Amino acid sequence: MIELWKGLIFGIILSFIIGPVFFALIQTSIEKGFKAGAFMALGVSMSDSLYIFLTFSGVSKLTENIQLKFFLGMAGALIMIGFGLHSILKPIPKKGLNMDAMNSNSYLRKILKGFMLNSLNPFLWIFWLGVAGLVTIEMEYNFDQASLFYIGVIGMVLTMDIVKSYMATRLRMIITPHFMRIMNRGVGIVLILFGLRLIYYAFEIKSLI
């Protein structure tokens, strides 16, 4: 079970990495409530699980194709910029938050949002490839040991994201339309900056062709 504990510790460290998903999760939790944030966190974990499966099973060799990396980077950048512009331009309700507006369909959208924001970041390929190398080469884990390690990582990251969502909803009492407008613009700018960084990364990769 030592592999599981190592995975839990690694997951704690990973959960403190601040990226575009972090800001989007906090924004969603404040605007739509704890359940919406939790479902978005679930989508993020599903995306991470897919990356883990692909990298550990050897499909990661596809990323050796430089042109594929370029298009992946551009796609991720455009999606993030799109989310950023939407966050900046979307109207703010004059009466503040409407916590009763959620339904099962919007929960599904939150899962998809978390999945897409996380999946379309090509840096995750590099990250999970690095973890796969750590697990298979340095730690020399077999399949069962690696499975315990990854279960610990994903379980802890999901738990920490749900905690972040819960803590964010505690701020609802001080949320006003003006605060929401500032928050949305801030989140939008952050997402756009991450998107522009991915464009730079994509063209840097393309220069190697």
DSSP, residue by residue, 35-85: HHHHHHHHHHHHHHHHHHHHHHTTGGGGGG-HHHHHHHHHHHHHHHHHHHH
Tell whether 7 is covered by a domain: yes
Whose tokens are 């390929």? That residue is 125
Domain span at 25: 2-64+96-186
Q: Which residues contact 113 (CB under 8 A, 6 or more apart)?
A: 24, 28, 40, 43, 83
Q: Tally the domains of the chain.
A: 1
Q: Which of 106, 95, 47, 88 is nearest to 189 (CA)?
A: 88
Amino acid at 90: K
User: What's the rounded Cα separation, in Å, for the pair 111 and 175?
Assistant: 24
Tell whether 69 is covered by a domain: no
Tell whether 116 is covered by a domain: yes
Tell whether 82 is covered by a domain: no
Tell whether 21 is covered by a domain: yes
Other C-beta atoms lying within 10 Å of the C-beta of residue 208: 9
Tell whether 171 is covered by a domain: yes
Tell whether 173 is covered by a domain: yes
Q: Determine the angle formed by the axes of helices 20-32 and 34-56, rounding to 10 degrees.
A: 150
User: What's the rounded Cα separation, in Å, for the pair 44 and 114?
Assistant: 5
CB 94 within 8 A of CB 177: yes
Tell whether 168 is covered by a domain: yes
pLDDT in tens, the chain (209 residues): 899 999 999 898 888 776 778 888 988 888 888 999 999 999 999 999 998 988 887 644 555 667 776 776 687 778 778 878 988 887 765 554 554 444 555 788 899 999 998 887 767 777 787 788 778 766 778 889 989 999 999 999 999 999 999 988 887 666 677 777 887 788 788 878 878 887 887 788 777 66
